[in-house]
Amino acid sequence: MSARTLNRAESRDLDRRATEEYGVPSLVLMENAGRGVADRLESLGIAGRVVIACGKGNNAGDGFVIARHLDLRGHEVRVLVWAEPDELTGDAGVNFRILRKAGVAVTCFGSRFEADRVQEALAGAAWIVDALLGTGARGDPRPPLDAVIDALVASAVPIVAVDVPSGLDCDTGVASAHTIRAAHTCTFVAHKPGFLVPGADRYTGEIHVLDIGAPRRLVEEALAAATGH
């Protein structure tokens, strides 16, 4: 039997209902998501520095949580952010400010791609975490993220994608010319329809479905409503 899936709209609606109908704060959902990825990464084995590449949306917020938990557990972490600090708002902004106060190494590139600095950050890394673009992203990644994605892939460092590999459309499975090729994808609540498209596994690698603490009743309702995709 095929894996049950939630597309981008259904995933967004589940998050909304968890917060509005069940009272689970969105910060708690982000915390659970990030901690779950940190747990899975540890289970895969970490023997060296973890570089976490972040954009500016909620996917980046997950990346900030992952960084905090890995740092808490004694792992060397470096966070690369393609946004200015004042662009990081909402839950992502909250977690960015916590990370800064925690003293984790953070480099903000803004809208710039600086190849030499990126290469320096990736040299000797054990893992890369892709927290650049989430399920809401459509079409080709815009500069500078297109160049960032290409640099991460070219590094040959194994990549763990958060929710969806950046550049891969989570609904259609269509890959941009600039798409992360992950060794593992930690997706939340359920598979995404695009993951089941032939050839998508070249980008997702092994898929791990993680919960975010949304109530089981809500998850089952959402999956039942989505049946037929």
Q: Given the DSSP bridges, would you call strands 105-108 and 127-131 parallel, antiparallel or unpaired?
A: unpaired
For residues 180 and 128, give the distance between their C-alpha atoms in angstroms, rounded to a whole number: 11
Average pLDDT over residues 209-223: 97
Nearest C-alpha neighbor of 165 from the set 84, 11, 68, 59:
59
pLDDT class of 197 with cuts at 50, 70, 90:
very high
CA distances for 174 relative to 97, 137, 146, 166, 178, angstroms: 34, 12, 15, 11, 11
pLDDT at 115: 96
State yes or no: pLDDT of 44 exceeds 90. yes
State yes or no: pLDDT of 229 exceeds 70. no
Average pLDDT over residues 10-36: 98
pLDDT class of 25 with cuts at 50, 70, 90:
very high
Contact, 65 vs 36, CB < 8 A?
no
Q: pLDDT by residue (tens digit) across 71-85?
A: 999 999 999 999 999
Average pLDDT over residues 124-131: 98
pLDDT at 2: 65
3-state secondary structure of 191: strand
Count of other CB atoms within 10 angstroms of residue 124 = 11
pTM, two decimals, is 0.97
pLDDT at 1: 42
Contact, 82 vs 114, CB < 8 A?
no
Average pLDDT over residues 147-170: 98
pLDDT at 227: 75
- Residue 137: how many CA atoms within 13 Å on its side-chain side? 30
Sign for the CA dihedral angle at 158, 159, 160, 163 comes to negative
